[in-house]
Amino acid sequence: MAPLVITRLRPASATIRAAALLALLAVVLLVATRGGSLQLLLDNARQAAPLGIIALGQALILMMGRLDLSVGAAAGLANVVLASAFAGDPTNLGPALALTLGLGLAVGLANGVLVVVLRIPAFLATLATAMVIAGGILVYTGGSPRGSIPASFRVITEGWIGDVLPWSVMIWLIVSLVLVVFVHFTLAGRQMLIAGANARAARHSGIAAGSLVVASFVISALMATLGGILLSAITGMASIGIADSYTVDSIAAAVIGGALFSGGVFLPAGAACGALIIFLIQSLLYVLSLPPAARFIVQGAIIVFALALANSKKEP
């Protein structure tokens, strides 16, 4: 039994590659900022947590051989709804969180139903939901979102545990751990993994793939909502379009971390490295005072580079 556990815990080569790239980038960033410290890196990780959590959901969807293009919109929805439900008053905590997570759940269910019941290809279904959500946000807010996040709630991203570990990184770690345990050590999770790796084999083994796909979209939407909540805690207010870049960024993060579009692979540590890499690159572009437009170019180039690298390994 012991060796099995050890092989299961050995990181995949894609994860090691991503970690090596991350280490390299961290060194470059430390050199570029001169006199940067571990504190600086941890602060980067603190701000990368929303992306990291959203990328986890995306990695789960990629494991199912699908794509969720609505995560950015779902995170933006969470941001707008949370701020307006809180309205700056910490006593609204319960209803605000319930409403935000409830809407996230609804988005996930809608995606799942469109994909499984109506058999619409996932990327188109989620693209359409993203469009409906974006329009809904604009109609609801009239273009100028209101409300704010009370300072006592913002501790979840601004606070540090004993000046060593940011709370947001702690939340990120806990969520990752829960997902790893779910995917690798529960029956439903393992069935999901098999359904993603080989849908036909899964069907022949009597796995009800449909409900698992719905479940994966619900989890992804909830992750996006949680990411949006953390983002709101960082910014402290509601803004329109603030989370849009998370859609492509989360795909990039998962892909850098070794996710395959054919499905069947779930590497949360890799996705975490990917999210940190993307965030460090953005910090680096900022430190080097490059125009913000450069990040789009870098974002696209990273996806191409990571996939080209992964695909070249498969060639005989």
- The answer for residues whose C-beta is within 8 angstroms of residue 94's C-beta and 6 or more apart is none
Return the SS3 of 152.
coil
Q: How far is the CB of 175 from another protein (least distance, A)?
A: 25
* CB nearer another protein, residue 95 or residue 300: 300
**Contact at 8 Å (CB) between 199 and 250?**
no
* CB nearer another protein, residue 229 or residue 253: 253
Q: How far is the CB of 276 from another protein (least distance, A)?
A: 19
Q: How far is the CB of 219 from another protein (least distance, A)?
A: 19
* CB nearer another protein, residue 26 or residue 213: 213
CA–CA distance from 312 to each of 182, 256, 259, 304 (Å)?
31, 14, 15, 12
* CB nearer another protein, residue 102 or residue 135: 135
**Contact at 8 Å (CB) between 274 and 257?**
yes
CA–CA distance from 201 to each of 207, 264, 300, 305 (Å)?
9, 12, 34, 32
Binding positions for another protein, rule: CB under 8 A = 65-67, 114, 118-125, 127-129, 131-132, 134-136, 138-139, 143, 199, 248, 251, 255, 261, 291-301, 303-304, 307-308, 311-312
* CB nearer another protein, residue 47 or residue 247: 247
Produce one character per residue of 131-156: b if its CB has 16 or more CB atoms within 10 Å, e if not. eebbeebeeebeeebebbbbeebbeb
Q: How far is the CB of 299 from another protein (least distance, A)?
A: 5
Single-letter code of the amino acid located at 253: A
Q: Which two tokens stand for residue 264?
A: 């069947």
* CB nearer another protein, residue 48 or residue 255: 255
Backbone phi and psi for residue 161, each to the nearest 5 degrees, phi listed first = -85, 105
Measured between alpha carbons, how far is 59 from 179 in angstroms, rounded to an integer? 11
Q: How far is the CB of 239 from another protein (least distance, A)?
A: 16
Produce one character per residue of 36-53: b if its CB has 16 or more CB atoms within 10 Å, e if not. beeeebebbbbbbbbbbb
Q: How far is the CB of 194 from another protein (least distance, A)?
A: 15
Q: How far is the CB of 10 from another protein (least distance, A)?
A: 27
Q: Which two tokens stand for residue 275?
A: 């999210």
